[in-house]
Amino acid sequence: MDRKNKQGLTEKEFLEQYDPSQFDRPSVTVDMLVFSIDEEEVKNYRKLPKKQLRVLLVKRKDHPDIGQWALPGGFVRTSENFEEAVARELKEETNVENIYMEQLYTWGEVKRDLRTRIISVAYMALINSASQNLMGGSDAEDAKWFTLDSQVIKEKKVVPENCNNTKKLVKLTLKDEENEITSLIEITRSLQGKSIKETRQIIKNDGLAFDHGKIIEYGIERLRDKIERTDIAFSLMPELFTLTELQKVYEIILGRELLTANFRRKISRMVEETDEIKKDGDVGHRPSKLYRFNQNWMVEEPNY
Amino acid sequence: MDRKNKQGLTEKEFLEQYDPSQFDRPSVTVDMLVFSIDEEEVKNYRKLPKKQLRVLLVKRKDHPDIGQWALPGGFVRTSENFEEAVARELKEETNVENIYMEQLYTWGEVKRDLRTRIISVAYMALINSASQNLMGGSDAEDAKWFTLDSQVIKEKKVVPENCNNTKKLVKLTLKDEENEITSLIEITRSLQGKSIKETRQIIKNDGLAFDHGKIIEYGIERLRDKIERTDIAFSLMPELFTLTELQKVYEIILGRELLTANFRRKISRMVEETDEIKKDGDVGHRPSKLYRFNQNWMVEEPNY
DNA sequence: ATAATAGTGTCTTTCAGACAGTATAGT
DNA sequence: ACTATACTGTCTGAAAGACACTATTAT
C-alpha cells in the first residue's frame, strides 16, 4: 500500500524521517522475582529438614538506594525481548537456564525511581532446589538467596458497614546469614466502579530498594493463586521428590497446613510413582517412595 | 545517608548528573481494550433482543498501518501514571469515566512496531451499556464500536503422544455497519521447563493494526477466566437488570449456553432483588424482576 | 516398645450439572 | 389455548474437608 498521510508521506518515507527522540520517553527495565525452596539444615535426630521459600536479591552498588538489596534486573536493550533480557540477567546472576518464567506486572508510577521515569516490567521465575547454589557469574558477587516470610499483621475494614473497603498490612521478612530485611506493605482494596481495586503502598522499608517490596508481595500472591490452580509447584521441585516434600512446598507457599490424605488425592494425577525410595538421611521411620512430575496429567482420565 | 558511590558521588550529586538520554530507550504506550455489551435491535414480535460483545477501535490516521483499526491508546507522558493515561485517553475517546480497569499484559516484542522499539502496556476496561453512545470527544471522529466474535477454528496436537504441545487457531471477527475486520491468531502451548508456556502469533490480519489482534484475543481469555471467578461481569451491566440479561452476558463471553437454574444459583449471592419489574418492550410473557449488584456479596452468609 | 514419618479408607459437606416442572404475561 | 419467557425444586455425581486408622523404619 502506498497510501499517504496528511504530510503527504508514504509509509516508507514516514519511517525514514521518524525520530523517536522527539518524544520524552521513560526508561524501561525488567526485574525478576526468583523463587526457590530451601532446605534448612536440621540435625535433630529423626526430624525432617524444614523447608523455606527463598528469593534472590542483589546488593545495589550505585545510587540510588546504594547498599540496599534489590531484585535482579536491568535496563532492556532495544534489540532484546523481555524474556531474553530476563533470561540473560538470570543466567548472569545465577547461572540457571531453562526455567519457568512468567510476566507478573508492570510497575510505572511516576515517582518510583529518583533518577527519571523508570518503568519496570516484572517477571516471576521459579527454579528448583537442585540448582540452588550455582551462582557465580560476573555480576553475582553480591547476589544472595534470602529466606522469605510474609505475614499479615493487621486487617481492618475502613468503613465498617462496607466490607469492600479494607486495608491489610503485610510484613515481609527476608533473611540470610548476615542480613535481615523487612518491609511493610499496605494493601488497600476499594470499590472501583463495580469491581474491587487493589493497590499497594510501602509503609516502611528497611533494606529493600525502590518499590521492590510491592513486587515481592504481589509475586507471593500470584504464586499462592497459581499453586492452587495449576501445576506451577513442580517447577520448584527436583526431578524426584517425596509427596511429603511436595506437601511442605504447598504449605510454605500457602502459609497453612494441609491434611495429608486430601492433599495426596488432589495432586495424585499430577505425579507418577517411581520404583525408587528415598534413602539418604532417613532414620527412624517408614521410608517414602519417590515420585516424579507427570507431564500429561491434564489429559489423562482418572483410574477408578 | 551520604554514602558515596564508586565515582565518589553522593546520591544528590549522582541524581544531578544523571542523564537518561545516555541509554537507548524504547518508547512506551498504553493501549486499552474496552469491552461493552450491545443490544442488537430485533423487531421480531416477542423475541428478546440479542446481546453482543463490543470492542472500541479507532481508525489510524497516520503511518504506520494508516487506515487500519487499532485499540485506542497513546504514548505515556512522563508525568503521568498508566492508569491516568488510560483514563485520560478513554475520556477523550468515549467520554466515559470511573469504570472498571485492570492491567492486562505488557507487549514488548522488538519488531512489533515498524517505527522503533515500542512497548505497549495494555489495559482492559469494562463499561456498561447504559453509557454506550457517549462518544464525541475531539479524538473520537474515527472511534467506533465493533461487535466482537471469537471462534476456535482448529485445535491440534503437534506431537500426538505429548498433549502439552498444542496449537489452537482463533479467528476474531469485528464488525460495524460499514467494516468487517478479521484476524487469525495462533496460540501455541508448549512445555517450558515443567510448566506450560503460551505464545500468540498473528497468522493473518485483515484490517487490524499492529499486534492488536493478540491483545484482543488475550483480553477475551482474561475476561472469560475472570467472569467465572469474580464479579467482573457487573461492570458490564446497567444499574438495574434482569437475571436473564445477566445470563446472556455470561453466555456471550463464555461462548456457551448455561442452564438457567444453575446459573441463578451460582450468582444468587451477588445480586439483590428490587421491587421493580422490567416493563418497556415486554410482550407476551411473564415479566421479569429487576435486580441490582450486591456490593457486599463476598462477606454475607447464605440464608437458609 | 516408642517416636516419627508414610500412607489409606471413608464419612460428610459443598457445589456444579442435568432436567423436569410450574408461573405469568400478551395475543 | 398458545407461545415465549420467567423462575423453582430436586436428583446426581464430583470434589473438598475432616478424621480415624494402618504401615514401616531405627533406636
Are B7 and B97 in contact, with CB atoms under 8 Å apart? no
Are A217 and A185 in contact, with CB atoms under 8 Å apart? yes
Q: Is pLDDT of A152 > 90?
A: yes
Are A172 and A148 in contact, with CB atoms under 8 Å apart? yes
pLDDT digits (tens, 9 = 90+) for B128-160: 866 555 555 555 567 889 999 999 998 777 665
Q: Which of residues 259-298 of A touch strand D (CB under 7 A)?
A: 259-262, 265-266, 282-287
Position with higher pLDDT, A41 vs B181: B181
| Residues in A touching B3 (Cβ below 8 Å) | 66-67
Are B212 and B202 in contact, with CB atoms under 8 Å apart? no
Q: Is pLDDT of B279 > 80?
A: no
A78·B24 Cβ contact <8 A:
yes
Q: How far is residue A85's CA from residue B95's CA, in Å, rounded to a whole number?
A: 39
> In this structure, what are the phi and psi dihedrals at residue B303, rounded to the nearest 5 degrees?
-95, 125
| Residues in A touching B223 (Cβ below 8 Å) | none
Are B191 and B197 in contact, with CB atoms under 8 Å apart? yes
pLDDT digits (tens, 9 = 90+) for B76-119: 888 899 999 888 888 777 777 778 899 999 999 998 877 778 99
The pLDDT value recorded for residue A139 is 52
Q: How far is residue B51's CA from residue B38's CA, in Å, rounded to a whole number?
A: 5
Average pLDDT, chain B: 85
Q: How far is residue B241's CA from residue B196's CA, in Å, rounded to a whole number?
A: 39
The pLDDT value recorded for residue A103 is 97
A100·B5 Cβ contact <8 A:
no
Mean pLDDT value of segment B176-194: 90
Q: How far is residue B103's CA from residue B121's CA, in Å, rounded to a whole number?
A: 8
Write the DSSP string, A79-113: TS-HHHHHHHHHHHHH---S-EEEEEEEE--TTSS
List of E strands, B108-161: 118-126, 143-159
B81·A109 Cβ contact <8 A:
yes
C1' of nucleotide C4: residue with nearest CA: A285
DSSP 8-class letter at B221: H
In percent, how much of chain B has pLDDT > 70?
A: 83
From the candidates B12, B16, B66, B131, which should be mutated to test the interface with A, based on the most A CB atoms within 10 A? B66
Q: H-helix or E-strand containing A214?
A: helix A212-229
Q: Is the CB of A20 under 7 A from strand D?
A: no
Q: Which of B4-13, B183-192, B212-221, B256-265 has the lowest mean pLDDT?
A: B4-13
C1' of nucleotide C15: residue with nearest CA: B266
A15·B79 Cβ contact <8 A:
no
The pLDDT value recorded for residue B7 is 73
pTM of the full structure: 0.92
- The answer, for B199 touching chain A at a CB cutoff of 8 Å, is no
The pLDDT value recorded for residue A135 is 55
Q: Is the CB of A261 under 7 A from strand C?
A: yes
Nearest to B37 by CA among B130, B101, B99: B130
Q: Which of residues 248-277 of B touch strand C (CB under 7 A)?
A: 259-262, 265-266
Position with higher pLDDT, A54 vs A163: A54
Average pLDDT, chain A: 85
pLDDT digits (tens, 9 = 90+) for A175-228: 998 999 999 999 998 887 777 889 999 999 999 999 999 999 999 999 999 999
Q: Is the CB of A226 under 7 A from strand C?
A: no
Q: How far, in Å, is the CA of A237 from the C1' of nucleotide C5?
A: 20
3-class DSSP assignment, residue B122: strand
Are B146 and B69 in contact, with CB atoms under 8 Å apart? yes
Q: Could you tell me the pLDDT band of residue A229, with boundaries at 50, 70 and 90?
A: very high
Q: Which three cell numbers stand for residue A57?
A: 536479591
Position with higher pLDDT, A254 vs A41: A254
Q: How far is residue A71's CA from residue A122's CA, in Å, rounded to a whole number?
A: 9
DSSP 8-class letter at B112: S
Q: How far is residue B144's CA from residue B237's CA, in Å, rounded to a whole number?
A: 20
